Structure 1
Amino acid sequence: MADTFEAKLQLVLDRQEIEKVLATYCRAIDRCDLELLKTVYHPDGTDDHGSYSGNAHEFAEFIIPTLKTAILDGIHTVTHSLIEVDGDFATSEAYYWAYQRCHGGEAAVTPYFGEDYAARVKEAGLIDLYHDYYCGGRYIDLFERRNGEWKVLRRKITNEWNDIRPSRRITDQGGVADFNLPGRRDRQDPVYLNRIPMTV
C-alpha cells in the first residue's frame, strides 16, 4: 500500500512540475524573456512551431526578437492539459488560447496577415488601426526528466483556429481607462518586481 501511495504521490508531483513548465513558457513568451524561455527546453530539444522548426534554444533566439518587432502586447494561457508520465519521460497535450495586438499600417499588416486581409482593411479605411489576433490550439510535448528537472524534449504545436480584426480595444476613454494596466514585455514587469523578499 505504501509503495502504491508513494507512486501516486510522485505522479502528482511530476504532473505539477510539468504544468509549471507549461505556465513558464507562457510567461516567457508574453514577457519576451529569452533566458526564461530557454529554461523550458533541454539544450537538444526541438520545437516545430509552424514559422520555425528546429532546435528549441534557437527557436527562442528567433521568436523573441520577432515578437518584439511584430507584437505590441499579448497573453498566452494554457487552459487544460492531459499529461501521461512513464518513468523519466512524459507526454503532454496542453490546449492553449492566445491574444496578440499587432501594429497597424500596410507595411506591418501585409507581411503578418497577408495581402487579402490587408486589402480588405485598407479598402475599409482601417489598415492604420492596431489589429487583434486571437488563436487557439495545442502544445503537444514530449518531456524528459534530467537531473531531477522536467523540460521539453520535443514540441509540436497545432493552431486550430484564428480570428483577426481591427482592434476595438478602448484604452483612454471613460472609466475603463483606469483599468488599462498592461504589463511590460521585459523584466520590469510587476511579476519580476513583486517577488517575495528573501530573508537571510
Structure 2
Amino acid sequence: MDEQLEARLRVALDRQEIEHVLKLYCRAIDRCDLDLLKTIYHPDGTDDHGSFSGNAMEFAETIIPSLREGILDGMHTVTHCTIDVEGDFATSESYYWAYQQAPGGEEAVTAFFGPDYAAKARAEGTIDGKHDYYCGGRYIDLFERRAGQWKILRRKITNEWNDIRPSTRITDAGHVAHYNLPGRRDRQDPVYLNRLPDRVPA
C-alpha cells in the first residue's frame, strides 16, 4: 500500500471513530447516563452549552440531574458532520436535531419555557398538560487523540431554532398505543441489554 493511500485510510478511520463519539453523546444524554457522558470528554475538556460553560466533567454532573428533574424524555440525533483531522487533533461541526417533552404545571412550564409562553399556555388552558420542545443547532468541537482515543477537548453548541407547543402525543389509545414502547433513562434500557452472545452462531 502506498503512503498516500495509507494516510487517507487513517484519516477515514479517525473520522469514523470521532463520529462514534458524537453518537455516544446522544445516547448518554437521552439515557441520562452520567458515566458514559464523562467518557466523551477528556478530563480537562470544556463545554460551552449556553446554560453552562466550564469543565466538561462539571457539565456532566450538572446536566444529567437537570434532565432528570426537568424533562420527561427526549431524543437527540446527529444528522451530519464535517470533520477535519490534523495529526492528533480534529475539528468537527455536527448538525443536531433534538426533541424533549417537559411536564406541565405553572412552575415547571415557567421554569423551562419562560413567563411569556407560560402566560400563553395559561390563557389557552394548556398549561397543566405536557409540552413538546423541538430544536436544532450544531456541536462545534475540538477533538484530541490521547493514548489512541479520540475525545472532546472543547465543545461549543449553537441552538438555532426551536418549536414549542402543547404535546399532542398519543400513548394510550387506538392502534398507536400498541407501538408506545418508550426507552428508559437508565441502564435498564434495551440498548444496554443488547449484547453479543458468548458464542456467535456460524
Name the TM-score class by shorter chain: over 0.9
Q: Identify the residue that residue 32 of structure 1 maps to in structure 2.
A: 32
Q: Displaced runs of 4+ in structure 1, greater than 6 A?
A: none
Distance, in Å, in 2 between the alignment partners of 1:56 and 1:157 is 13
Q: Identify the residue that residue 121 of structure 1 maps to in structure 2.
A: 121
Shift of 1:197: 2.3
Q: Identify the residue that residue 20 of structure 2 maps to in structure 1.
A: 20
Distance, in Å, in 1 between the alignment partners of 2:74 and 2:6 is 40
Q: Identify the residue that residue 102 of structure 2 maps to in structure 1.
A: 102
What number of residue pairs does the alignment pair up?
200
Q: Report the TM-score, using the length of structure 2 for normalisation.
A: 0.97
Structure 2 stretches lacking a partner, 5+ long: none
Matches within 5 A, 1:44-193: 44-193=44-193
Distance, in Å, in 2 between the alignment partners of 1:155 and 1:196 is 33
Q: Show CA shifts across 1:106-149 (max 9, x none).
A: 01000110000000001111000100000000000000000000
- Local SS of the residue matching 2:141: strand
Q: Report the TM-score, using the length of structure 1 for normalisation.
A: 0.98
Distance, in Å, in 1 between the alignment partners of 2:193 and 2:62 is 26
**RMSD of aligned residue pairs (Cα, Å):** 1.1
Amino acid paired to 1:60 = A
Shift of 1:182: 0.5
Q: Identify the residue that residue 6 of structure 1 maps to in structure 2.
A: 6
Q: Show CA shifts across 1:38-76 (max 9, x none).
A: 000000000000010000011000000000000111000
Percent of aligned pairs sharing the same letter: 74
